Amino acid sequence: MKVNIGVSARHVHVTKEDVKELFGEGYELTKKVDLSQPGQFACEEQVTLKGPKGIFERVRILGPERSKTQVEVSKTDTFKLGINPPVRNSGDLDDAVEITIIGPKGEITRNAAIIAARHLHIDPITASKLNLTNDDFVKVRVGGEKPGLLEHVYVRVSDKFVYEVHLDTDDANAFLIKQGDEAELIIDKEL
């Protein structure tokens, strides 16, 4: 079965409290553009990420606000920042590493940095048709100039999701994948 690919660059999710710390009292995030998943959007606001060895400026905040602040970076990004975050599913901040987020009105330091696990967003109807459940793992085969197989793709089922695989920039670059490319979903459930 075919599936579209979404590619995620480094970005930040923030809590309402941390928006206040970074941008000032009463500040509201401003939607720049909707993302492929319903209700998710890129914000006009950008911040600086600071690690022990370096910084990244102009890092986009994604909305809406969340219950925990989370920073998603690629493994390549970690070398410049000087951090060693774990690979985790979005929202799982167990062992997330410390990073400083700098806004125009202040800065915060949180154990919030992770490398996002590759994952499949899927709605319950499509998941049922494919005999998939939340927390399954599948494979994705990509074609093109550098074809290959991406294993250990985490399945996330929700009625708020649109059917799409999400990869970080390291995975995308390794296979010469760009936003919106198509791949083949392989339902060979992994452990």
The CA–CA distances, whole Å, from 114 to 32, 34, 98 equal 24, 23, 10
Q: Rounded to whole angstroms, how far apart are CA atoms 20 and 18?
A: 5
Write out the H or E segment, with its range, that includes residue 100: strand 97-102
Q: What is the pTM of this model?
A: 0.93
pLDDT value at residue 52: 98
Are 108 and 20 within 8 A, CB to CB? no
As a whole number of Å, the end-to-end CA separation of the chain is 21
Give the number of C-alpha atoms closer than 13 A to the C-alpha of residue 47, restricted to the C-beta side.
Answer: 30
Instruction: Walk along the chain (191 residues) in steps of 10 and give the mean pLDDT of each run.
Output: 96 98 97 96 98 98 97 98 97 96 98 98 97 95 96 96 97 96 86 49
Structural domains of the chain, ranges and CATH numbers in brackets: 10-115 (no CATH), 119-186 (2.40.40.20)
Residue 183's pLDDT is 97
User: Do residues 41 and 32 touch, judged by C-beta distance below 8 A?
Assistant: yes
Q: What distance in Å separates the CA atoms of residue 158 and residue 122, rounded to the nearest whole number?
A: 6
